[in-house]
């Protein structure tokens, strides 16, 4: 089945170890790309924006429950940044619903599944079709390397072409 929408999921490795865990739960109409982070605080404004630039129709950020971040404030920072990017997107005419944020109990696949269904439903509300920027050809690098302050290296592919 042709995938009609592209979704980037930025997730803390404490919620799920890797995208392999929740990918099977993704509805068939969604092309999902996961970006794992050692802590959700590593979500910077620019990564969310680059995901949209590279063609994502929606971006979602999954973090640990409030008060449970193993680095104490990481999930709070992540939420603030997501709120800021959301406001920026809305200011330029994007539907803010395209960017979402969820606190997840580690390993809660049932919730992950609900969220993914919810995102598909959202597309019906937004515009029933892929966003204008998907499949566009932006020059410049869409692959970013994040240096984790806690040691490991992650390479993020946000390129949907």
Partner 1 sequence: MIVGEQKPIMEILQMVSPHKKLLILGCGTCVKTCFAGGEDEVTTLASVLRLALKTKDIFVQIEELTVERQCEDAFIAEAADAVSRNEAVLSLACGAGVQAVARRFPRSLVLPGVNTTFLGVLERRGLFTEECSGCGDCQLAVFGGICPVTRCAKKLLNGPCGGSRNGKCEVNADTDCAWHLIIERLSAQGRLNQLRAYVPPKQWQASLSGGPRKLIREDHVI
Contacting positions for partner 1 (CB under 8 A): 44-46, 49-50, 52-53, 88-89, 91-94, 132-133, 136, 138
Which residues of 16-139 form beta strands (DSSP E)?
30-37, 58-63, 99-103
* Shortest CB 25 distance to partner 1, Å: 29
- Closer of 19 and 53 to partner 1 (Cβ): 53
* Shortest CB 6 distance to partner 1, Å: 15
* Shortest CB 139 distance to partner 1, Å: 8
- Closer of 44 and 79 to partner 1 (Cβ): 44
- Closer of 105 and 136 to partner 1 (Cβ): 136
In angstroms, the Cα distances linking 34 to 17, 87, 124, 135, 139 are 11, 23, 22, 18, 22
Q: What is the rounded distance in angstroms from the CA atom of residue 10 to the CA atom of residue 135?
A: 20
4, 5, 6, 43: which is closest to 159 by C-alpha? 6
In DSSP terms, 34 is beta-bridged to 9
Q: At what angle do helices 74-91 and 45-53 cross, to 10 degrees?
A: 50
- Closer of 23 and 126 to partner 1 (Cβ): 126
* Shortest CB 45 distance to partner 1, Å: 5
């Amino acid at each position: 089945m042709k995938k009609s929408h592209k979704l980037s999921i930025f997730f803390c490795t404490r919620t799920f170890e890797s995208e392999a865990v929740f990918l099977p739960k993704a509805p068939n109409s969604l092309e999902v790309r996961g970006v794992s982070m050692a802590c959700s605080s590593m979500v910077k404004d620019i990564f969310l924006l680059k995901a949209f630039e590279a063609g994502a129709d929606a971006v979602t950020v999954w973090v640990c429950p409030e008060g449970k971040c193993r680095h104490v404030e990481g999930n709070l920072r992540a939420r603030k940044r997501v709120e800021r990017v959301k406001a920026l997107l809305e200011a330029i005419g994007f539907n803010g619903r395209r960017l979402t944020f969820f606190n997840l109990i580690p390993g809660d696949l049932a919730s992950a599944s609900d969220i993914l269904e919810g995102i598909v439903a959202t597309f019906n509300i937004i515009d029933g079709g892929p966003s204008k920027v998907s499949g566009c050809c932006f020059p410049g690098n869409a692959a970013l390397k994040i240096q984790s302050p806690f040691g490991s290296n992650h390479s993020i592919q946000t390129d949907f072409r």
